[in-house]
Amino acid sequence: MRTARHVGLQAADALAYVVVLTGALFLVGSAFSLALGQGFVGTKYLLFFVGFGMFGYAAFLLRPKPPWKGDNDGERAVSGAGETTETEAQDKPTHRLANRLLPANMRLPPDQRLSAGAKMLLAAIAVLATSYVMEAVFNVAY
């Protein structure tokens, strides 16, 4: 049952993930770019290219499950060696850190959160938007 509180908690969880991933990419990119003497230009380009890579990966994660791997008459398909379940995907370090940012009463179990693909798509949009804002608003250009 999806209540307004549940949707709000999903949004807060997704926002925490977006902030953690975008912030980490910005900090790592800035550290390398400043160390190489490029200023924030290198950070802007890193965010741009990584953002598009994340966008493609999110599209890959969000693709529908093939019919031969889905549920047929209540039977669950056995996942292959290289496949991960949604609960395992939600237990990655980035997801755990984002979950720790939320107060205890706002944390959702992994099976009630947005999918990893949906959160990756939102993070990709935020990373690309950060790159754009760096250029359009803060005039970080080469």
CA-to-CA distance for 116 and 95, rounded, in angstroms?
A: 9
Inter-CA distances, 63 with 38, 71, 117, 124, 128, Å: 38, 16, 9, 16, 21
CA-to-CA distance for 120 and 122, rounded, in angstroms?
A: 5
Residue 88's pLDDT is 60
H helices present in 3-115, as ranges: 4-35, 41-62, 86-89, 93-101
pTM: 0.81
Residue 81's pLDDT is 43
Residue 77's pLDDT is 44
Per-10-residue mean pLDDT, the chain, length 142? 88 94 96 95 96 96 86 47 56 80 84 92 98 96 78
Residue 80's pLDDT is 43
Q: What is the pLDDT of residues 41-53, one digit of tens each?
A: 999 999 999 999 9
Residue 84's pLDDT is 54
Residue 82's pLDDT is 47
